[in-house]
Structure 1
Amino acid sequence: MTSLQSRHIDNVYSIATGTALADPAASLVHKSWARCVREHGLDPTKPSPARILPAQEVRAHQQQLEHFLRAARAGMEDIYRRVADLGYMVLLTDAEGITVDYIGNPAWDDQLRRAGLYLGADWNEAHAGTCGVGTCLIERQPMTCHQTEHFDATHIALTCTTAPLFDHSGRLTAILDVSALRSPEARESQHLVRHLVSIYARMIEDADFLRSFRGHWILRLGTAYGLVDVAGELMLAFDEGGTVVGANSGARQALAENPLGREVSQLLHIPMDAIWRLGNGGASAMPFAHTVLLPGGGEYHASLLAPRVRRAAAPAPDIARPSDRLPPLARIAGDDPAMQQLLAQAQRLVDRGIHVLVEGETGSGKEVLARAMHGASRRAAMPFVAVNCAAIPDSLIESELFGYTPGSFTGGRAKGMKGLIAQADRGTLFLDEIGDMPMALQTRLLRVLSEGEVLPLGAESPQRVDLAVVAATHRNLSALVAAGRFREDLYYRLCGAVLKLPPLRARGDRRYLIEAMFNEEAAAMRPGARLSDAALQRLLAHAWPGNLRELRNVLRLALALCADGTVGAQDLQLPAPSDSAAAAAVPSAPASAEAGAGDGGLEGADELRALLQRHRWHVARAAAELGVCRATVYRHMKRHGIAPPQRM
């Protein structure tokens, strides 16, 4: 150990254990030294070499940032071109301090690796002590850790300048670091580097923001009139309805309130028409001297960027990407009191970190409600991943949900597969028909919910995931728990809040739903089509055992069959009104029956065989009568050894 290292250790120990740190003006570095000793339990007299993670663990950390790495890499390459000749290298860590990308002079690889300026290096303050990355993760502001400001004596030759990177919801995502093995002794020599790192951190954030919201309108605000079209300091992404779904760091800092979920016109006190005109004429189209006065103060010029990708006509059944249309909560119901109360509860649950369980009959709109909650949340621009736990075969559900690493099993993809849970990271995971999830997987799902991490098949270490979870079922989960067919601890994890969707026949806003759904389907299939009064009355009188799903199918078929663009009563494929009225009078299956059967009456082999025979072995019709999906019927047929006659 050199004399310089020895003096450094004495200085760190003296300050870290002293009383001067109670002064609010104490430097970030000295506060960090105290944390290292008092909270992390680090000993300055025991320097340790750089900690480099195995390649497999590094890949797991990279996968969690894969959506962000492309924009970050472009920024890293550009800043490296500007500082390489001065002896600097560039690295990027995730929010845990693990280096997931780096650029340095290949001739210095051995030195960089020994110093920890290398792929896989762990710069978390709890392990590495005071350093640019680890301390920046805690302080969340640009900073320089120069030479003897490092806690560990093995790092005192380094100079490291860092800046935090946040996503559009304000979550710390990564750290950008520019470091050098050697530098001038004066700390002031790093001022220009610090300024450069801060600029590139914002550029990377904004590039990722523009990528994430390329399917939305983006309002850019800047103090420089001539640069606002290319360098908006404040950016707000909003949908066609004018609702803000994303804000960059500049906007979150400049606005006194959380902008997400607010109307952009109300937030900025600008008429929506004036904002739309920006899309046609640029900044010069803005009236009132081309400026926007923010509520908290500050004068900005404005520019509007139109969506750069077309939105899908219909969302995919499994994963909704950021550009998909998401129904606002207010639009999924009319004036039905029960639904209005439910939607008010749903709105209050958004962004509260509470898992939600939606109960309701098959086809009653459980996924529609889940998508609307996702669209109203801060996660709206991130994936909405819907998983039907009953529709995935037992043999595939584990790999589909959790993913797998390369070579995990025969027949798997050569590069492995990212599971549906990991795909929902930072977004919403919707678990439909959760009551049909096999018991073995319920244990693994419980770990995901309790620990916030997922372990792919074949992997040695878990991956962190940040999820909003909405589960749905048409069954009585508490009865399944009592019967030993659903884990009690998982049940209580899922039902942080329970929303009970009423069936369509019990809703007082049926007219609103029928007309809204008809207009939606007509716009896609036959623009200009209308619904006759006779057809409307027939639809209002029907019992709707299949709920909203049945209603949509009936309307689509009627639109296809009507001859002159007017849907009449004769175009509706519905049972006779007398049959419909009789069906409406039949109460739904009692809870006791469901508790005894567990699957809508599928427990007994004789009952199931009789049901299938009555429907001439048409599984879809039998499933519809029971209110379950076909996969559930097939599962119970297999359990009881029941096969159609032609297979016997």
Structure 2
Amino acid sequence: MQLRNEQRQHIETLIRLSEGQMTGLDGCREVIRRSWERCVDEYRLDPGRPRPARVLTQQALREHREPVDELLHVARAGVDRLFAQVAPMGYVLLLTDRRGITVDFRGQREQDHALRRAGLYLGADWDERHAGTCAIGTCIHDAKAITCHQSEHFDATHISLTCTAVPITDPQGQVIAVLDISALRSPRSHESQNFALSLVNLYSRMIEDAYFLHRYRDCLILRFDMAREFVHLNGRGLIAIEEDGSIIAGNGFGRALIDAHLSRWPPWSPGLVPKATQLLDGEIGELLGILSASDDQIRAFRIRASEAICFVTLIEPRGRRIATRAVPPSLTPVPALDRLASDDPAMHRVLKLARRLRNEEVSVLITGETGTGKEVLARALHDSGKRAKKPFVAVNCAAIPESLIESELFGYLPGAFTGGSSKGMRGLIQQADGGTLFLDEIGDMPLSLQTRLLRVLAEGEVMPLGAEKAVRVDLRVITATHRDMDALIANGRFREDLYYRLNGARLRLPALRERADHHYVIRSVHESLVAKRDRDVRLRADAVSALLAYAWPGNIRQLKNALGFALATAEGDEITVHDLPEECQGGLAGVPQVLEPSSRNATSDEGRALLGLLRETAWNVSLAARRLGVSRPTVYRRMRRYGLVPPNRKDAHLENALH
């Protein structure tokens, strides 16, 4: 009786809508309102005459199934797994073609009669033009995921149902199918279906990606994600390419990357698709060499359109391996340089250029924040070049007192000035003869000495204090600074002609917080410090998590100090978060151990669904909790259960940019 009363009230509301009255629609969602208006104005459906479910004959059903047979084959595993998840909660599963005809179905046999009568059955037609507002039909019309809950259905016979549908698109972005779960009965609250929407979204994307991989199994495929830990397990981006980098197709996330590129750099002609090397800042050899680039067969690249960092792996064509290409000189291994970074795109660019410059005589200016490793890079350039067996002389222009810097640099003869050595002294410039002179903090060099340095560089000779004859020197000069050289020149504090002598080539080191290889840097610094001690002390996971989360304003120098402090104060054979300096603990000191994302502990379907929802909400736990209809602590407990930890803030921002 109650259902009949609700049906009668529902019909009355829709009749008022058909008569141009909007009474009773105040709480109606806009997507549902638009669909109701289509049903009345465009489809001419009579709300007072509910329609029985329309189920196709076997022959008609076969005609609809044949065009999607390949998709049905690929989707079968995902359909079975999703149904296993939702069946205990009273849901049935429908997979329809792009016209809304149910071509695959999973349901409980004991509900067979009720499901057939409700249209939740194989061969049922859920086209909006026939069935009215419903999850499948409205999803097809809008090409968007939707939950149509109870009285949101147009047809009064459907208002006891709750249905959640998500489109499955082909590599061109066209809807080819719809995945739906529906229930004959459900709680009144619309929020009760939030988790259903996340779960169906997850499986529709899995089916879509499986179909993409099947369609392009004979092509090279780049698989990528914003988090390295999920590339192999659940990498969201897929782009099929030719061996020259030409893009063939992309899945939804891949097309979003292409669209982001085209929105920034519109093509010259309609339909022109960029090459993969235009999307990702790298050479084709780097893309094709991903599988040998690291132990986990993943490599980081910077997205040109957004400057975001993504992590990429390569799926080779079925049954064959790509042809081996000659390694370009810029990618030839150079141990002294290679050990400075693992998998950071900005460092790859720096080291690629450094490889080309290592045997050249051109002066190099290294810039970057304090503590980023400018002297380390300068020494690696020297050690990997043809001057490696000659001296490397480092001078900190900011550390030597101004009264002594002239004599330190240029040297002096005996008796040149009061207080000097009776034997005189060879200056640092002469000591570097045949090798490399590294002038750190060149921006702090006194203006008076800049003129003399310019002469050394221009004429290849140095005049010690007290000398009457210049001494020839053969050296390469590498300089470094954290200062804004353009501002110093504009303020008259640095000679412009000297700057152009020093800036033959410029290498900019990224800040540690900007690098994608934080874990490698932390491990390398830790191993180098441990090697100098008598005992082996390992880093526990909670300490690593805190170190990864910290912003490091002092960069690698500060990281060395922090780990040195931890090694000195740790009592056992491991460093915990409590052993780190207080500023590095980042609020993690009260947590026994923070789990890192792992392919081993995020494997359950519920964990995958939660991961999908957190990604959709850019890791906004409050929003995720509202969508699930649970409290924030509950979401945090589930995250801990499945080992889900947010990416760093930059990655979350980048994910938002691609949504």
Which TM bucket (shorter chain)?
0.3 to 0.5
Larger Rg: 2
Normalising by structure 2, we get a TM-score of 0.45
